[in-house]
Amino acid sequence: MKQNWKTDELVDHGPYKNQELDLRKVGLNPNFWYPIAQSKDVKKEKTYGVNFGGEPIVLIRTKSNQVFALEDRCIHRQIPLSQGVVCGSKLKCTYHGWTYDETGKLAGVPYLPPGIPIPKGVKSYPCREDYNHIFVFPGVAELAETVPFPDIENPTSNDYKTMYFSRRVNCHYSFLLENLMDMNHQFLHRRLMGKVKPSLIENSQGDNWVEAKYKFKGEPHPTAHLVLAAGRNNEDTATDFDIMTIRTEYPYQTLTVCGPNSSLPALKLWVSYIPVDKEQKINHSFGMLMIRRPKIPGLLTLLWPLMRYFTGEIFAEDKMAVETEQKAYDMQGGDWNQEIFPLLLDVRELLRKKGIPLNQ
């Protein structure tokens, strides 16, 4: 199969029939539940402004702890409603005091004489708070009841301690999804990981998912060994190698690490990427890293600062790589990446199939 050296276009279609589509111009499908804020960021009787694919959204938490989501603009003069004031169960625009309820309906204009009709209001978004995050359904609202809400195991279990993260990355979401699936880039993390080499031992796919299993060999850096071993228990030995399973189940990703003699994961990750701008070249990653508590009481708490440092440094290196890929794409005016790893070609095919074209 021949390939144009400047594009991702294949001369013949083969098993990857949609490779002629520029993946970096494929948008994330909005008809899913997406985390757009951590619960702690939306305070009582306050607003919180976010974006999904260039569309501004305001989150509102009432005094009674109800959370709802509206289009972040007042229909009167287009002032962001995130600058408004929460009054009881309603939101008042900061400019003229136009008032909206949780459905987006315009509930009142304080200075309007009786008998004058008022506009309908603004768009509201299905909204749900769970897993210490606030999720919205930014697509067709009527589909929210039929699309499954993310099923995330153990984020609040006493068997695990959870690290929550929220980070902005200046690249298309596809670079992030590819990065996590491709464990062959461990050389990038050699300062932190040591002489660890992954080996793909199994991969599979379905209509809306791609999954890979890796086994790691080599001598890890002492810090990496300590961090990765924290969630192990007595059934695993220091000479055993972990099995890492990474799954892209559109549009989310999960990662689990199990010792070879254990069916209970030592580490679990759930992550979702949220496009911020219209071109979706800026994304916000929300995730939960769940680490199994060791049998030694207090050990995980003692190691927690080291784990935060380690994961932060790993992320910083990945962030550098994917943002550099985005800069190259922008400079070259297209995708010149020569990807040949079949697993990643499967992932790219999935993202093209499930995504939507961006109107640029």
Enclosing domain of residue 67: 42-143
Q: Are residues 191 and 138 in the same domain?
A: no
Mean pLDDT of the chain: 87
How would you classify the pairing of strands 46-52 and 55-61?
antiparallel
In a domain, 148, yes or no: no
* pLDDT of res. 5: 33
Exposure b/e, 314-353, CB count within 10 A at least 16 = b: beeebbeebeebbeebeeeebbebebeeebbbbbbbbbbe
- At 113-164, the pLDDT tens digits run 888 888 889 999 999 999 999 999 999 999 999 999 999 986 667 889 999 9
> Is the domain of 102 the same as that of 220?
no
CATH code at 62? 2.102.10.10
Identify whether residues 125 and 178 lie together within a single domain: no
pLDDT in tens, 264-314: 888 899 999 999 999 999 999 999 999 988 888 888 888 889 889 989 999
pLDDT tens readout for residues 45-86: 999 999 999 999 999 999 999 999 999 999 999 999 999 999
As a whole number, mean pLDDT of residues 331-343 equals: 93
